[in-house]
Amino acid sequence: MPTLSASEIKGYAVQAGITGQNATIATAIALAESGGDTDVTHVNRNGSTDYGLWQINSVHSALLNGHNWRDPSDNAAMMFSISNGGKNWSPWSTYKSGAYLTHMAAASAGADTSVTGGVTTIGNDDSSFSSIQKAVTTLTDPHLWVRVGEVLGGVALLMVALYMSSPVKASSVVKYLPLPTSGIAKAAGVMSKVVAK
């Protein structure tokens, strides 16, 4: 089967019984775990194997033996069972590590297909949550913090340069230098010669 889109994955999650924001989380987890590939498997370091869209682990052999893990509907049904109906996402490493958060925007943008009274409605009930998820995704982006560090470092260097270029007496500079007490007099003499030039 081909790789599924976020809206298709969300549709399978809803079909399995996951509702509301949990359908979005389930979709983000599937995207983080399998990239939407229904045929993907992964052998873990401990020797267990993960299968399909939600990467159902082989420790759940009773579920895997009773379903076709390649079928997105079956994989979603197993996910529903393991997650206690979408109430416990801790069995998924991408949830525990927060890796699923990078897929929340795509999962939120996916159409929420829900069944009400036999009529399927399509909409997105996660708009209020999407801004929070965007903020969390932004704040957990390591590149953001590198940029913040560069800006703060640049500001600090600019302030040092401005301070050093202002006419300051050598003694006021020396009192802020972390020199041993015996070296302060020497440093003051050197600094006064530098300032005098």
- pLDDT, tens digit, for every residue of 73-98? 999 999 999 999 999 999 999 999 99
pLDDT(121) > 50: no
Contact 13, 27 (CB under 8 A): yes
pTM to 2 decimals? 0.57
> Cα angle vertex 77, ends 75, 79, to 5°?
70
Q: What is the rounded CA–CA span in Å between residue 184 and residue 158? A: 26
CA neighbor of 38 nearest in space, from 10, 66, 73: 73
Class of domain 6-127: mainly alpha
Per-residue pLDDT band at 138 (split at 50, 70, 90): confident
Per-residue pLDDT band at 116 (split at 50, 70, 90): very low
- Give the residue with greater pLDDT, 56 vs 179: 56
pLDDT in the model for residue 5: 93
pLDDT(35) > 70: yes
Range of weakest confidence among 11-25, 42-56, 174-188: 174-188
pLDDT in the model for residue 89: 95
Beta strand spans in 69-110 (E) = none
Query: Which residue intervals of the chain bear CATH 1.10.530.10?
Result: 6-127
